[in-house]
Amino acid sequence: MHLLEAENRSVGLEYGEPITIGDNIWIGEGAMILVGVVLGGNAVVGPGSVVTKSFGDNVIVANQRTS
């Protein structure tokens, strides 16, 4: 995670959190899964999606088309 305070960033204070991906997941091209997210089994992540929160089993996660 990148810190918001410039003073902390400049001294290299950052931290990470794991991403947990269940069994039988399909992740589309260009998808981003952010730190700390847990995806359950049998999920589908659509191409180009940005996953910012966790989801359980048997879900489809995709960004809404705007065009």
So what's the pLDDT on residue 2? 65
So what's the pLDDT on residue 5? 80
CATH architecture of 18-67: 3 Solenoid (2.160)
So what's the pLDDT on residue 66? 56
- Catalytic residue among 2, 4, 5, 15, which? 2
5 is catalytic: no
Mean pLDDT across the stretch 41-59? Answer: 95
Q: What is the pLDDT of residues 57-66, one digit of tens each?
A: 999 999 876 5
**Residue 62 burial class via C-beta count within 10 angstroms: exposed 0-12, middle 13-18, buried 19 and up:** middle
Q: What is the pLDDT of residues 1-46, one digit of tens each?
A: 667 788 777 777 776 789 999 999 999 999 999 989 999 999 999 9
- Domain borders along the chain are 18-67
Do 37 and 48 touch, CB atoms closer than 8 A?
no
So what's the pLDDT on residue 20? 96
How many other CB atoms sit within 10 Å of the CB of residue 3?
14
